[in-house]
Amino acid sequence: DKTESFTVKIISRGAEVTLERIEITSPEKTVYYVGEELDLTGFAVTAYYSDGTKALITEGFEVSGFDSETPGEKTITVSYKNVSAQFSVTVLEREPAVLMGDADGDGEITANDAVDVLRYSLSFEPIDEELEKIMDIDGDGEITANDAFLILRMSISLI
């Protein structure tokens, strides 16, 4: 007493089915920093054929054009059986890490940094706001001999 309906497409014998186009579902990650590897998590390729069918392609495609050595917009090309599609990603320059107490910016906390901070604490010369944050170890809004003392302790691993 139940009926079911469905559509059947009849293709004549000898009709060659060809790949017409591919579509890409872009990966979840589209922003990279210089030096990072391409991450294709969430990426998918769908092939569309001349007979109206489509298929999810999981292998046999090539991905090219990714270069994270320089910053900028990068066009990634995906090719499958001589058909291609593209998507874009952005590569950014990585911001340098700020090391609290590194007054001379050499990437290390040494006694030289403590000396620099002590010098600044005794002078009335204006300094860059970012450098002031790096030197103000105790966070009191001022660069004082206490900041120099804390940096000296950091340099000999007491902190």
Predicted confidence (pLDDT) per residue in 108-155, tens digit: 889 998 898 888 888 867 777 888 888 888 888 888 889 889 988 988
> Is pTM beyond 0.85 here?
no
Q: Which residue has the higher pLDDT, 85 or 2?
A: 85
Helices marked H in 61-128: 111-122
Predicted confidence (pLDDT) per residue in 7-55, tens digit: 877 666 567 889 999 999 989 999 998 999 999 999 999 999 999 999 9
Predicted confidence (pLDDT) per residue in 82-92, tens digit: 999 999 999 99
Of 65, 75, 128, 122, which Cα lies nearest the Cα of 98? Answer: 128
Cβ atoms of residues 153 and 159 within 8 Å: yes
As a three-state string, the secondary structure of 5-36 is: CCCCCCCCCCCCCCEEEEEEECCCCCEEECCC
pLDDT of residue 2: 85
